[in-house]
Amino acid sequence: MGWTRKDLLAMRDLDASEILLLVDTAATLQEIAGREIKKVPALRGKTIVNLFYENSTRTRTSFEIAGKWLSADVVNFSAGGSSASKGESFIDTAKNIAAMSPDVVVVRHSSAGAAELLARNLSCSIVNAGDGAHEHPTQALLDLLTIREHKGHFEGLSVAIVGDIAHSRVARSNIHGMRKLGMTVTVAGPPTVIPPFVQEMGVKVAYRLEDAIRDVDVIMMLRLQHERMTNGLIPSLREYSRYWGLTLDKLQAQARPDVLIMHPGPVNRGIELSPEVADGPYSVILDQVTKGVAVRMAVLFLLAGSKGAEQA
């Protein structure tokens, strides 16, 4: 069973065998990070454009390192200081970049569906690196790889995702991926940020942190975005932190001793995670970042490393 898609847009599109192929490929590629010479020639002569309309350090750097370790040429385009600030439309900018014959365009945009729009209009491969509140598939894949490396399997694991579910593309991508791999997902957060559709996605809902984190294998804390307070969804940082912040006390009182604490970053220390938890023995947050490079190498390799099955 090989990879046949031109693009990677959403976890929702993938079936379990495709997700496992990506995770397995990433798992074998991790070895490259430990080498003295961190470079393999697989994507020599391929060009990858990082087209980022939203700020991102971790994801863009991760894609850039992944491309370079595979010997591709990686070009970064960010909206600030570019033709976008002169008023060029998104699709025009993308078509201009496509006219320079890249093999892969990695796109991040604040609008849901931006990656799919490019996939329909450009002949090169498109990777969605986050589109609005829709999806962020490489984040979900690196979370899945991290979980499997620590727990050994997927089937039957239970996960709590805590925070602003409604606005989280990380939560959405993870829920799709985890459900397809036979994991149980509970989402938790203030009722104002728990969207009504989550139950249709086959997840449970908890309205108290203590209920969500009891007896789960993995706790995934989401970043609280400060702009959520200005639009009235959350009364105050202090209140959010008191009810939804994960502290060592709450963790030790409720969670299993072998629980994994994950966070997609960047962490608001002292708000959703206390520093002792973020840096503590349960935390695999930096491991997630390390695995991110392997996952992005796998994605780039499977999309650009062969012309795809239609020519095989």
Which parts of this chain interact with other proteins (CB under 8 A)?
Answer: 2-4, 21, 25, 27-29, 31, 35-37, 39-42, 70, 301-302, 305-309, 311-312
**CB 103, min distance to other proteins, A:** 11
**CB 43, min distance to other proteins, A:** 9
CB-CB neighbours of 284 under 10 Å = 20
**Residue-level length of the chain:** 312
> What are the E-state strand segments in 98-240?
104-109, 125-131, 158-162, 184-188, 204-206, 218-221
**CB 215, min distance to other proteins, A:** 34
* Residue whose CB is less far from other proteins, 70 or 185: 70
**CB 40, min distance to other proteins, A:** 4
* Residue whose CB is less far from other proteins, 292 or 305: 305
Ramachandran bin of 266, using left for φ above 0, alpha for ψ from -120 to 50, beta for the remaining angles? beta
Q: What CA–CA distance (Å, rounded) separates 50 from 210?
A: 40
* Residue whose CB is less far from other proteins, 67 or 305: 305
Asked if 3 and 21 touch (Cβ cutoff 8 Å), the reply is: yes
Q: What CA–CA distance (Å, rounded) separates 289 from 222?
A: 15
CA distances from 312 to 47, 230, 297, 308 (A): 22, 53, 22, 7
**CB 154, min distance to other proteins, A:** 19
Asked if 206 and 187 touch (Cβ cutoff 8 Å), the reply is: yes
* Residue whose CB is less far from other proteins, 70 or 233: 70
* Residue whose CB is less far from other proteins, 105 or 302: 302
